[in-house]
C-alpha cells in the first residue's frame, strides 16, 4: 500500500513530468496480456516532450508507430493535471475521432485510485468531462464543430485526408488563437493539400508549426525483414503512404511524382510581373524568328476559378509568359489581344466553353488577326481565312468529354518525355493537386486546375495543328525536291514476260549537286520516307 505522503509526491511528480506519468501509470490494452504498462520507446518519449514544449505540432508518421496512443496519453495527462482544459478531436470520420477519445478515457479510468485527483462526471460515447472542469469531445470535420468554442487543444487526426482543410483551418483557428494548442498528425496523402503544405513550410521555418517525421525505421523492433513482409502485397503508392512518409509518391497525381520533383528544379522567378494586378508573369520577351502560341482558359464566372493563359515557344516548348487572375470579360479579352500582338500576332487559342465564347466575340470585334478555329464535331484546326463562310467552323477550342482525356494525355506525354520547360510555381502547385479521382483526372477538392488545362490545350494544339501543318509543308517541299522525271519503255524482247527499261529524262537528269541535295533531303526529312 502506498502512503498518503508517497501518493502526494507521486502526483506532484507526474504533474511536472509527463514522461514519468505515461511510463509508470498509463495502461494500454494488449492482445494477449490484457492491460499492460505503456512502456514507451525513445522516439515516443521525444514526441511527448515536443507536444508539451511547442504550441503547434505537425507530425508526419508511418503506420503502427503508436502515435495515436502517445497523443492519447498526452491528452490524459493534460486533462488530469490541469483544470478547465477543453480538447477537441477532429477527423474526417466521427468513428476515428471517437476511438481516440476512447483511448484517453480508458487511460483515465485505469489510473490507480489514489491518483484519480479528478473523476469522470459526464461520460458519453463521443465525449467525457472531469470534475476539475476539463473535457474532451470527438467530432467529424463536417458542420461547424468547435467553431464557437475556446479550445485548449485541437487535435487534427489524419489531417492529410480532411477535405477542404484550408477552409476548415481558416474557420477553426480563431478557437485556439488566444493561447490554444494544435496537434496535426497524419500519414501523407499526396502533395499540395493543407497537411503537406503545413509540414513543408514548418521544415522551412515559415510557419508556427514544429515538424516531427516518424519513419518506420525509428521503431527499434522493426527491421528490413519485417518491412518486406508487411509490404509484400502493397503497391508502391501504399508503401509510400503507410510506411515511407513520402508525400510525392503517396498521392494519385496525374503527373508522376518523379516528374514533379524534376519540374521543381526548373522553377524560377519571372523577369517581369506586369499588368494592373501584377499577375502577368514574363520570363522571356518576344524574340525575332521565334514562333509562339497563346492558349487561354476562361473562368466559369462563379468566382471559384481563374482566367489564365500561357504563351509557349512552339519550337522548344518553353513557357515564356503566364497570366492568372480574375478580370472581367472585356478586360481579359484586351489582355489577350495585347499579349498576342506582343508575341508577333501568334496563334491565339481560347477555350470556347461557357464564358469563353464571349471572350472570343470580343477578340473577333477587335479583329485579332490569328485566332484558332476548328471544325465542329472533329475539332480539327482550320485556318482563320478558311473559316470565313464555313458553317462547320467554330472559333476557339472545345473541351469536351471526348477531348479532355486527349489533351491531358498529351500534357502528361510532354512532361514525361521532357519536351516542355515549366518555370511557374503557380503551375507546379496545380500539378501537385491534379489527381485521379473516381477514374477521372481533376483538381483535388478545394483546388484549381485552370493553368493545367491551359497548358494541356497548348500541348495538344501544338502537336496536332502547328506541327502537323509544318510537317505538311516540309513533306510537300521534300517530295518536290526529291522527284526525278523518268520515261518508262516496255521491253517485250523476252517472250512471256513484260519488263521495262528505265530511262531518265534528258531535261531533268540529276546532276551531282541535285544528287547531293536529294541526299540532304533524305537526312533532313527521313521521317517522310520511313517504311
Domain membership flag for residue 473: no
E runs forming strands in 2-119: 27-30, 34-37, 56-61, 86-91
Domain boundary at 251, 272, 292, which?
251
Same domain, 129 and 168: yes
Same domain, 42 and 190: yes
Residue range 169-206, pLDDT digits in tens? 988 999 998 899 999 999 998 887 899 989 999 998 99
CATH number of domain containing 416:
3.30.420.240
Do residues 296 and 247 share a domain? no
Residue 476 lies in a domain: no
* 489 and 358 inside one domain: no
Asked, for residue 475, whether it belongs to a domain, the answer is no
The contacts found for 196-202 with CB under 8 angstroms, 24 or more apart, are: 196/160, 196/247, 198/58, 198/159, 199/58, 199/60, 199/247, 200/247, 202/58
Angle at 397 (CA atoms; ends 394, 403), nearest 5 degrees: 120
In a domain, 256, yes or no: no
In a domain, 474, yes or no: no
Whether this model's pTM surpasses 0.75: no
Please tell me the distance from the alpha carbon of residue 68 to that of residue 183, in angstroms, as a whole number: 11
Residue where a domain stops, chosen among 251, 282, 297: 251
Same domain, 81 and 164: yes
Please give the tally of structural domains in the chain.
3
Distance between CA atoms of 118 and 108, rounded to whole angstroms?
A: 9
φ, ψ of residue 145 to 5 degrees: the values are -60, 125
Could you tell me if 406 and 350 lie in one domain? Answer: yes
Q: Which residue has the cell 461520460?
A: 123
Whether residue 118 is found in the same domain as residue 213: yes
Q: Are residues 340 and 389 in the same domain?
A: yes
Rg (CA), the chain: 33
Low-confidence residues of the chain: pLDDT under 70:
143-148, 467-531
Predicted local confidence at residue 481, as pLDDT: 59
What pLDDT shows up at residue 305? 86
Asked if residue 387 and residue 241 are part of one domain, the reply reads no
Q: What pLDDT was estimated at residue 257?
A: 82
Domain span at 159: 4-251
Q: Do residue 212 and residue 268 come from a single domain?
A: no
Whose cell is 476539475? That residue is: 132
Note the pLDDT of residue 61: 96
> Are residue 78 and residue 143 in the same domain, yes or no?
yes
> Does residue 155 lie within any of the structural domains?
yes
User: ∠ CA(346), CA(419), CA(454), 5° rounding?
Assistant: 50
- Give the span between the Cα atoms of 242 and 250, in whole angstroms: 8
DSSP string, 469-524: HHHHHHHHHHHHHH---EEEEEE--STT--EEEEEE-SSS---HHHHHHHHHHHHH
> What's the first-to-final CA gap in the chain, in angstroms?
95
Q: Report CA 10 to chain centroid distance, whole Å.
A: 51
Residue 156, CB-side half-sphere exposure with 13 Å CA sphere: 28
Residues 97 and 134 reside in one and the same domain:
yes
Distance from the Cα of residue 177 to its chain's centroid: 29
DSSP conformation class of 133: S
* pLDDT confidence of residue 148: 62
Amino acid at each position: 500500500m502506498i502512503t498518503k505522503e508517497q501518493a502526494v509526491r507521486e502526483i506532484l511528480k507526474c504533474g511536472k513530468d509527463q514522461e514519468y506519468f505515461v511510463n509508470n501509470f498509463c495502461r494500454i490494452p494488449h492482445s494477449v496480456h490484457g492491460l499492460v504498462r505503456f512502456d514507451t520507446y525513445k522516439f515516443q518519449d521525444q514526441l511527448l516532450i515536443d507536444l508539451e514544449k511547442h504550441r503547434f505540432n505537425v507530425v508526419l508518421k508511418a503506420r503502427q508507430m503508436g502515435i495515436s496512443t502517445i497523443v492519447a496519453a498526452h491528452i490524459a495527462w493534460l486533462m488530469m493535471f490541469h483544470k478547465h482544459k477543453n480538447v477537441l478531436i477532429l477527423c474526417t470520420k466521427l468513428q476515428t475521432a471517437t476511438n481516440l477519445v476512447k483511448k484517453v478515457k480508458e487511460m483515465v479510468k485505469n489510473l490507480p485510485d489514489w491518483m484519480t485527483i479528478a473523476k469522470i462526471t459526464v461520460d458519453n460515447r463521443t465525449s467525457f468531462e472531469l470534475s476539475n472542469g476539463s473535457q474532451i469531445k470527438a467530432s467529424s470535420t463536417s458542420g461547424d464543430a468547435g467553431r464557437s468554442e475556446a479550445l485548449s487543444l485541437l487535435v487534427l487526426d489524419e489531417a492529410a485526408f480532411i477535405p477542404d482543410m484550408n477552409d476548415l483551418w481558416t474557420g477553426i483557428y480563431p478557437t485556439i488563437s488566444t493561447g490554444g494548442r494544435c496537434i496535426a498528425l497524419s500519414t501523407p496523402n499526396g502533395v499540395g493539400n493543407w497537411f503537406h503544405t503545413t509540414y513543408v513550410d514548418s521544415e522551412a521555418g515559415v510557419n508556427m508549426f514544429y515538424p516531427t517525421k516518424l519513419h518506420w525505421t525509428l521503431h527499434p523492433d522493426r527491421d528490413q525483414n519485417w518491412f518486406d513482409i508487411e509490404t509484400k502485397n502493397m503497391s508502391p503508392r501504399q508503401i509510400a503512404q503507410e510506411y515511407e512518409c513520402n508525400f510525392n509518391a503517396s498521392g494519385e497525381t496525374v503527373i508522376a511524382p518523379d516528374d514533379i520533383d524534376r519540374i521543381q528544379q526548373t522553377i524560377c522567378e519571372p523577369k517581369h510581373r506586369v499588368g494592373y494586378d501584377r499577375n502577368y508573369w514574363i520570363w522571356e520577351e518576344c524574340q525575332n524568328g521565334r514562333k509562339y502560341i497563346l492558349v487561354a482558359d476562361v473562368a466559369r464566372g462563379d468566382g471559384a476559378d481563374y482566367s489564365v493563359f500561357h504563351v509557349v515557344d512552339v519550337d522548344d516548348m518553353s513557357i515564356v509568359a503566364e497570366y492568372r487572375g480574375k478580370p472581367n470579360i472585356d478586360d481579359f479579352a484586351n489582355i489577350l489581344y495585347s499579349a498576342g500582338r506582343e508575341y508577333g500576332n501568334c496563334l491565339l487559342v481560347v477555350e470556347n466553353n461557357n464564358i469563353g465564347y464571349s471572350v472570343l466575340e470580343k477578340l473577333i470585334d477587335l479583329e485579332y488577326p490569328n485566332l484558332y478555329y476548328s471544325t465542329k464535331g472533329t475539332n480539327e484546326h482550320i485556318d482563320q481565312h478558311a473559316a470565313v463562310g464555313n458553317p462547320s467552323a467554330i472559333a476557339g477550342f472545345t473541351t469536351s468529354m471526348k477531348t479532355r482525356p486527349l489533351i491531358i494525355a498529351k500534357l502528361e506525354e510532354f512532361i514525361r518525355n521532357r519536351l516542355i520547360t515549366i518555370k511557374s510555381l503557380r503551375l507546379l502547385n496545380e500539378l501537385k493537386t491534379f489527381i485521379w479521382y473516381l477514374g477521372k483526372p481533376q483538381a483535388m477538392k478545394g483546388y484549381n486546375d485552370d493553368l493545367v488545362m491551359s497548358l494541356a490545350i497548348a500541348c495538344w494544339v501544338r502537336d496536332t495543328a502547328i506541327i502537323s501543318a509544318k510537317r505538311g509543308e516540309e513533306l510537300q517541299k521534300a517530295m518536290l525536291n526529291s522527284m526525278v522525271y523518268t520515261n518508262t519503255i516496255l521491253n517485250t524482247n523476252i517472250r512471256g514476260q513484260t519488263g521495262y527499261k528505265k530511262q531518265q529524262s534528258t531535261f531533268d537528269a540529276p546532276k551531282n549537286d541535285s544528287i547531293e541535295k536529294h541526299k540532304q533531303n533524305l537526312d533532313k526529312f527521313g521521317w517522310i520516307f520511313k517504311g
